[in-house]
Amino acid sequence: MDANSIFNSQQHTAKQPSADTSRCPLCGRDNRCACAAAGCPDDATGCWCFTVSIPEQLLTRIPSELRGKACVCPACVEAFYKEQHS
């Protein structure tokens, strides 16, 4: 199943991938990345993504041209875990 199918089934609105660092490269929504918004401190503990495990399987769904440019949003991480447990 491709990323668009998964996230549309979780009531996400898939948009064109964006290189905007504040947008999720999978769904185009705000990724809530504290580092993109204000710059990361050296310890980078202020961002939500440092408190969760982001599965490699989810990261491989990011289009290659956007990998390493923007963070996946919390909603896509949650949708991935729900998909894995259903």
**Length of the chain as a residue count:** 86
Task: Read off the amino acid at residue 53.
Answer: S
Residue 48 near residue 35, CB atoms below 8 Å: no
Please spell the DSSP secondary structure of 19-68, one letter per residue: --TTB-TTT-SB---HHHHH---TT-TTSGGGGS---HHHHTTS-GGGTT
Going by C-alpha positions, the residue among 52, 75, 72 that lies closest to residue 62 is 72
- How is the chain split into domains, by residue range? 3-77
pTM of the model: 0.69
pLDDT at 36: 74
pLDDT in tens, 28-85: 999 988 877 776 665 556 688 888 888 999 999 999 888 888 889 999 999 999 998 8
- Does 19 have pLDDT greater than 80? no
